[in-house]
Amino acid sequence: MVRGLLTLVGIAVMLLGQQAFAAVNWPLEPAVKAKSWVLLDARSGQILAKHEENKRLAPASMTKMMTLYLAFEAAKQGTLDLDERVNVSKKAWKIGGSTMFLEPRMHPTVREVLHGIATLSGNDAATVVAEHLAGSTDEFVRLMNAKAADLGMSNTHFMNPTGFPEDNHFSTAMDMAKLGVALWRDFPKFFEIFAEKSYTFDGRKQWNRNRLLWSLPEAKGMKTGHTEEAGYCLTGAAEKGNMRLVSSLFGAASDKARQEQSKVLLKYGMRQFVTVRPKEKDIRRKIEVFEGKTDAVWVKPAKAIWITVPKGSEKHLSFKLSYKSPQLAPIQKGQALGKVQAVLHTKKEDVVLQSVPVLAQQSVEQASWFGRKTDALKLWWRNQ
């Protein structure tokens, strides 16, 4: 139930962010030369800039972000050992395109092939991981699409784990940004692999194609992609202060252009916005309960609250905690009892940037008949 609630919260944040984008005097968006793009703050979930962000296009090797997500998830759950050795099939060996030069005689570790995917964009490495985790690439693709649905990537469909051009293999700037946010959020330690500038395997050193790692000090990596159909693509990440920015860009004209245009987006976010969070006293509270075995319950938000606003406007931001009063037992742990809203006060109107349910932190059982009647009398007397 809680997971479903958090999914709804995430969708609500996106929708509120889009409404606020129109209602608040947001900074003028940068001019970006690409087919589609989006810029998000990974913590707040708010959209800071966008263009054709839901247009379905070929994602090329950015597909491998999902391949890595499933591998990281398996490692986190303990079903994948990073030090175990894997087989290299003939299919992986002969796949072509960008590779880490795996051969059937080799038995690399899982850790090595993950570097091969993230840093070298190895199609062979991605195929090896898919076959190792799911037994076949077809079964792995089924897992990819199931996870995409789980993450709210509603305009994405995968046909392979590498990003090779194929009919019905598509995604969007928004969906790739969502995937980037999920990688950073769900696997903070594994995420560090995306910042690796080079990797050496079998005596061969290769460089990461993500030039943001050299040109933007705040860059945290992520994934490039390129095919003739897709053009040059890049999902990028940068961190400054509380801000965790994720950009996704499809269809730039060249390798240099995707780096430059992604940098335009990320620098725009860092220059024009700030991400803040409320004080604990504004979002966590002990509220009175009647007709229960205990007379109070603590409530706190269902998720961490981060808000991204234009620089200078944070002083006009407030957090409003509201809940039904009186609260009556029984109350279940995790039950939604109210909400906390982040409100930006403007000259024209107050704009709700985010609304998050507040949940009971413990259960409160119903009191005895006598206890309930006593509390009912207290409430009656209070309302006189």
Phi/psi-derived region of residue 130, left when phi > 0, alpha when psi is between -120 and 50, beta in every other case: alpha
pLDDT of 332 above 60: yes
What integer is the mean pLDDT of 22-37?
84
Q: Given strand 36-41, what is the order of strands in its sheet?
A: 47-51, 36-41, 243-252, 231-240, 219-227
pLDDT for residue 283: 85
Query: Can you give the pLDDT at residue 141?
Result: 98
Contact 30, 249 (CB under 8 A): no
Show which residues are catalytic. 61, 64, 121
Residue 15 has pLDDT above 80, yes or no: no
User: What pLDDT shows up at residue 3?
Assistant: 44
Distance separating alpha carbons of residues 110 and 88, to the nearest angstrom: 11
What is the DSSP code (8-state) at residue 144? H
Q: Are 42 and 184 in contact (CB under 8 A)?
A: yes
Separation CA 306–CA 300 (nearest Å) = 14
CA atoms within 13 A on the CB side of 183: 33
CA of residue 30 relative to chain centroid, distance: 23
State the pLDDT at residue 24.
60
- pLDDT at residue 52 greater than cutoff 70: yes
Mean pLDDT, range 241-260, rounded to an integer: 97
The alpha carbon dihedral of 155, 160, 162, 167 has a sign of negative
Lowest mean pLDDT among 6-10, 188-192, 300-304, 380-384: 6-10
Q: Provide the residue type at 188 as one letter.
A: P
- Least confident range from 90-104, 186-200, 323-337: namely 323-337
Top-tier CATH class for 280-382: mainly beta
Please state the rounded mean pLDDT for residues 63-77.
98
Beta carbons of 53 and 174 less than 8 angstroms apart: yes
Instruction: Band the pLDDT of 13: cuts 50, 70, 90.
Output: very low
pLDDT of 253-271, one tens digit each?
999 999 999 999 999 999 9
pLDDT of residue 370: 85
State the burial class of residue 257 (Cβ atoms within 10 Å of its Cβ: 0-12, 13-18, 19+): middle
Question: What distance lies between CA 177 and its chain's CA centroid?
Answer: 7
CA distance 212 to 204: 23
Q: What is the mean pLDDT of residues 241-254?
A: 97
**pLDDT band per the 50, 70, 90 thresholds, residue 326:** confident
The H or E element spanning position 180 is helix 173-186
Look at residue 357 in the predicted model and tell me its pLDDT: 95
162, burial (CB in 10 Å: exposed 0-12, middle 13-18, buried 19+): buried
Q: How would you list the strands of the sheet with 350-360, edge to edge?
A: 317-323, 336-345, 350-360, 296-301, 285-290, 327-328
CA 312 to chain centre: 26
Residues of the chain with CATH 2.60.410.10: 280-382
pLDDT at 20 > cutoff 80:
no
Task: Enter the pTM of the model.
Answer: 0.87
CATH architecture of 31-275: 3-Layer(aba) Sandwich (3.40)
* pLDDT of 9 over the 50 cut: no
The partner residues of 296 in beta bridges, in order of sequence, read: 288
The whole-chain average pLDDT of the chain stands at 91
Inform me whether the pLDDT recorded for 137 exceeds 60.
yes
CA–chain centroid gap for 105, Å, is: 38
Residue 1 clears pLDDT 80, i.e. is over it: no
pLDDT of residue 27 exceeding 80: yes
CATH code 3.40.710.10 region(s) in the chain = 31-275
* CA angle 81–87–93, rounded 5-degree value: 130
- pLDDT score of 286 more than 70: yes
Give residue for tokens 């899982």.
Answer: 110
Q: Read off the pLDDT of each residue in 319-329 and give the average, rounded to a whole number.
A: 88
pLDDT digits (tens, 9 = 90+) for 357-376: 999 999 999 989 887 888 78
Per the model's pLDDT, the better-predicted residue between 383 and 271 turns out to be 271
